């Protein structure tokens, strides 16, 4: 993380303590810019920092959003002076009733449904937007089938930026509405998500003012997920959990939670201690779980077929790094069927009053399976990341979430209905 | 608010600084209990307090939820030791872009969509549940057609309580799903909302362990809305706004925001200053606006016909008190058509990235109308209360929120589509 003396510093950009882009594969460093692939080996670039002195007190006196950690993100010092969605610092709730059902001693749920557009994507998009402004972009863009589209359109609206969101034309009406309402440019593309993604890369190369959050500014964007790790540690009272379960789509989130924990240790904000990171996938799109089980360090792409659409990335870019984090910490990657996903959503809702989208069902159900398999230690403290809202995937549970009974409007009828249960 | 020396104190209950129930009409005081109507005149009962010393610092050091104000609510001192949804302390965002569109100088949006079930109802239900536990109840109940049902079912699930939620059997599937998923007892009642409400009152009388949050524990429940006023004042930097626009259903929220402001002044937490409170209704259910316009101090009930269903209370119990607050402060009550409601939702979304339910559209559109009518001062600072989430009323905007264009998957097609706009 420390730069060598001859690393070129980007003197004209204010991206906080970010100092350079660094290749995850070969370590080559290159100045901060809108790049995502190493010019030497085409490996993924990530942000290298020279972190300033940061204390618990300085963080605690910050805003109740991800900007309390702005010194640890690739964003300008004045990031809060621009209108933004102010995401983050969502609830971490102690989940005793779910713990009892799962047979573990201590469990926490990080409930990221409280974000402005009700998924963790608000975090990464806010960081991407702040960096994109500094890098000279003026249009916020993404290919997406759901949460990311909502987050980009909302963040751009709030900032007064144009947005260009690309979606497959077959997308359900509800997902179109929840993006289109923000009034940016929403393009329905004839093709599947792979086609839309390819088109995004092409457009990013052609339009120099367009920042595709998960393409040409991806290194900045991805850093936003570190805040999930930071918040868990701070909200636990400035300490790391023993175990954490993270859903895996591209895999970026899991690696960034790991990175966030590591940075807090290095900065002396928490004590160093062993922790295990667990990945959660849907069986219908479980290339990382398969690689983990088979002992591979590469990912065999799959064609996704699962109701957990926000996790349905068949060729996850950060899959190998997920394997690294999980294996290094002694965790595991599990996977669950769509039926188990629905059960996971319902279990979390009825025990803790948190209604998660399908990705949350994946997390809960995978945690259950890993506990039963003895991989998650029931006596150690565990955190589950719930990263999106059940209101976004109502269809997954609508067949199961029915009225207990339909009754005439009399108290006698109610009594009889309840006694008859 | 001060009790006379002979007021019976409820020595066995811990409801914080709440000391008695006090009749809003005749002032008669009665011990804290699950009562909602004055035994002498049948007027509505509200909570009377003996507030302790409270400072800005003591509040600021509290949790980031409504419990930071627990000393000012009718809840036990140990309220946080019981699992609850931890609602409140939602974003107050400076809304410069909306201000520019509306032609006002300084505008804020209080975004209560960030609550656990994405409406302000989580606040009132959390207070109701805490008081209900202390009052000896064990089942949390309500009649509802939407937000309240979600909030009650979620809060009960989290607390490990049974819940009984009554809904009209004609309710849309999405609203059934978002309540039923929490696993309590959900009874679909053959009849309209009035029938359901009557049934709730009957059941509350018959089942001594059932706390109907908005019936037999209503005085406690209603106090939860004060926290909206508290938070606005605290988040503005410990001061009151000049003007605030509040949606009016039963009218309770508006009167409690007013009460919250008044209490902060009395407690010395903010400086006293004039402020104006404005009420917002949909034209299709605007009995309070009608009474205001006609100079009446009584409410003529109406049969609601509006897309703003969460505000569709034709005979609002607190309507007269809304008129009191609005007239005393020099405000007004406005109303807007369903078309204007939809425009209000879209305006807020495209300027600030906040997607509100129909009630929020009512607030924004009414503010616009009152500004145009010269009733809201464009040079004074204004706060808009956005109390529920657009994901709950997608149908209202789905016809308007469409893709900009549908294109083949080539960058040429994208360019042509954008140039053709």
Which domain range does residue A284 map to?
A: 91-118+222-398
Q: Are A351 and A234 part of one and the same domain?
A: yes
* Cα–Cα dist A408/A286, whole Å: 47
Q: How many CB atoms lie within 10 A of CB A297?
A: 11
Chain B residue numbers touching A392 (CB-CB < 8 A): 391
Helix (H) or strand (E) holding A382: strand A381-386
CATH number for the domain harbouring residue B323 = 3.40.50.1100
Q: Which residues contact A146 (CB under 8 A, 6 or more apart)?
A: A175, A309, A310, A392
Structure confidence at residue B98 (pLDDT): 98
Q: How many CB atoms lie within 10 A of CB A409?
A: 21
Domain boundary among B173, B200, B216: B216
Q: Are A303 and A376 part of one and the same domain?
A: yes
Q: Are B164 and B254 part of one and the same domain?
A: no
Interface test with A, best of B177, B237, B416 (most A CBs within 10 A): B177
Distance from chain centroid for Cα B148: 10
Write out chain B's pLDDT in tens, 421 residues: 344 444 444 458 999 999 999 999 999 999 999 999 999 999 999 999 999 999 999 999 999 999 999 999 999 999 999 999 999 999 999 999 999 999 999 999 999 999 999 999 999 999 999 999 999 999 999 999 799 999 999 999 999 999 999 999 988 888 899 999 999 999 999 988 888 999 999 999 999 999 999 999 999 999 999 999 999 999 999 999 999 999 999 999 999 999 999 999 999 999 999 999 999 999 999 999 999 999 999 999 999 999 999 999 999 999 999 999 999 999 999 999 999 999 999 999 999 999 999 999 999 999 999 999 999 999 999 999 999 999 999 999 999 999 999 999 999 999 999 987 6
CB pairs under 8 A between A and B: 237
Q: Are A230 and A210 part of one and the same domain?
A: no
Q: Are B181 and B232 part of one and the same domain?
A: no
Q: How many CB atoms lie within 10 A of CB A63?
A: 12
Q: Does A63 reside within a domain?
A: no
Structure confidence at residue A7 (pLDDT): 46
Task: Determine whether the interchain pair B391/A118 forms a contact, defined as Cβ–Cβ distance below 8 Å.
Answer: yes
Structure confidence at residue B6 (pLDDT): 44
Q: Does B321 reside within a domain?
A: yes
Q: Are B232 and B260 part of one and the same domain?
A: yes
Interface test with B, best of A409, A410, A412 (most B CBs within 10 A): A409
B383 touching A (Cβ < 8 Å): no
* Cα–Cα dist A5/B396, whole Å: 59
A12 touching B (Cβ < 8 Å): no
* Residue among B181, B182, B203 minimizing CB distance to A411: B203
Q: Does B154 reside within a domain?
A: yes
B178 touching A (Cβ < 8 Å): yes
| CA separation, residue A86 to residues A125, A195, A388, B100, B353 (Å) | 11, 32, 17, 20, 11
A199 touching B (Cβ < 8 Å): yes
Structure confidence at residue B255 (pLDDT): 98
Q: Does A264 reside within a domain?
A: yes
A195 touching B (Cβ < 8 Å): yes
Q: How many CB atoms lie within 10 A of CB A101?
A: 17
Q: Are A197 and A108 part of one and the same domain?
A: no
A353 touching B (Cβ < 8 Å): yes
Q: Are A243 and A354 part of one and the same domain?
A: yes
B347 touching A (Cβ < 8 Å): no
Chain A closest-CA separation from residue B25 CA (Å): 31
3-state secondary structure of B342: helix
Q: Does A241 reside within a domain?
A: yes
The secondary structure of residue A412, as a DSSP letter, is H
Q: Are B258 and B355 part of one and the same domain?
A: yes
Chain segment B284-306, per-residue pLDDT in tens: 999 999 999 999 999 999 999 99
* Cα–Cα dist A151/A358, whole Å: 18
Quick check: A261 and A383 in contact, CB under 8 A? no
* Cα–Cα dist A376/A230, whole Å: 22
| CA separation, residue A347 to residues A62, A94, A101, A342, B155 (Å) | 35, 15, 9, 9, 15
Kindly give the parts of chain A with pLDDT less than 70. Answer: 1-11, 421
Q: Which residues contact B102 (CB under 8 A, 6 or more apart)?
A: B367, B368, B371, B378
B147 touching A (Cβ < 8 Å): no
Chain B residue numbers touching A179 (CB-CB < 8 A): 401
Domain count for chain A, please give it: 3
Sheet of strand A45-49, all strands in order from the earlier edge strand to the far edge: A29-30, A18-23, A45-49
Q: How many CB atoms lie within 10 A of CB A42?
A: 12
Q: Does A44 reside within a domain?
A: yes
Sheet of strand A210-212, all strands in order from the earlier edge strand to the far edge: A210-212, A139-143, A162-168, A185-190, B405-408
Task: Determine whether the interchain pair B178/A94 forms a contact, defined as Cβ–Cβ distance below 8 Å.
Answer: no
Q: Does B255 reside within a domain?
A: yes
Q: Does A106 reside within a domain?
A: yes
Q: What number is the ipTM of this complex?
A: 0.95
Interface test with B, best of A61, A67, A353 (most B CBs within 10 A): A353
Q: Are B205 and B233 part of one and the same domain?
A: no
Task: Determine whether the interchain pair A187/B405 forms a contact, defined as Cβ–Cβ distance below 8 Å.
Answer: yes
Nearest CA-CA partner of A93 in A279, A226, A230, A231: A231
Quick check: A117 and A142 in contact, CB under 8 A? no
* A-chain residue closest to B198, CA distance: A409
Task: Determine whether the interchain pair A116/B394 forms a contact, defined as Cβ–Cβ distance below 8 Å.
Answer: no
B389 touching A (Cβ < 8 Å): yes
Q: Are B141 and B202 part of one and the same domain?
A: yes
Q: Are B143 and B271 part of one and the same domain?
A: no
């Amino acid at each position: 993380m420390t730069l060598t003396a001859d690393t070129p510093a980007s003197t004209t950009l204010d991206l906080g303590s970010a100092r350079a882009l660094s290749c995850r594969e070969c370590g080559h460093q290159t100045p901060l810019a809108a790049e995502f692939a190493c010019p030497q080996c085409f490996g993924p670039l990530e942000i290298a920092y020279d972190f300033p002195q940061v204390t618990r007190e300085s963080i605690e006196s910050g805003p109740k959003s991800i900007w309390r950690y702005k010194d640890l993100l690739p964003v300008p010092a004045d990031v809060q002076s621009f209108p933004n969605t102010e995401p983050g610092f969502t609830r971490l709730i102690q989940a005793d009733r779910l713990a009892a059902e799962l047979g573990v001693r201590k469990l926490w749920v990080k409930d990221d449904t409280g974000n402005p557009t009700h998924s963790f994507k608000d975090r990464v998009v806010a960081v991407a937007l702040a960096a994109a402004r500094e890098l000279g972009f003026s249009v916020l863009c993404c290919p997406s089938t759901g949460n990311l589209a909502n987050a980009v359109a909302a963040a751009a609206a709030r900032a007064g930026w144009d947005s260009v969101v690309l979606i497959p034309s077959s997308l359900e009406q509800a997902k179109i509405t929840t993006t289109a309402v923000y009034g940016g440019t929403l393009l329905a593309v004839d093709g599947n998500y792979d086609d839309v993604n390819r088109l995004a890369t092409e457009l990013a190369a052609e339009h120099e003012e367009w920042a595709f959050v998960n393409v040409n500014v991806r290194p900045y964007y991805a850093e936003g997920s570190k805040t999930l790790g930071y918040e868990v540690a701070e909200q636990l009272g400035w300490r790391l959990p023993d175990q954490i379960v993270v859903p895996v789509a591209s895999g970026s989130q899991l690696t960034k939670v790991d990175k966030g924990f590591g940075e807090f240790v290095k900065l002396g904000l928490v004590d160093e201690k062993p922790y295990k990171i667990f990945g959660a996938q849907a069986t219908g799109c479980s290339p990382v779980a398969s690689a983990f089980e088979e002992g591979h360090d590469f990912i065999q792409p799959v064609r996704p077929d699962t109701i957990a659409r926000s996790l349905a990335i068949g060729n996850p870019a950060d899959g190998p790094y997920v394997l690294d984090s999980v294996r290094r910490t002694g965790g595991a990657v599990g996977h669950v069927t769509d039926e188990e996903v629905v059960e996971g959503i319902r279990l979390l809702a009825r025990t803790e009053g948190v209604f998660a989208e399908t990705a949350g069902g994946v997390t809960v159900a995978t945690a259950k399976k890993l506990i039963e398999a003895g991989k998650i230690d029931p006596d150690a403290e565990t955190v589950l990341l719930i990263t999106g809202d059940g209101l976004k995937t109502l269809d997954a549970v609508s067949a199961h979430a029915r009225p207990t009974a339909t009754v005439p409007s009399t108290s006698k009828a109610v009594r009889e209905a309840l006694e008859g249960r």
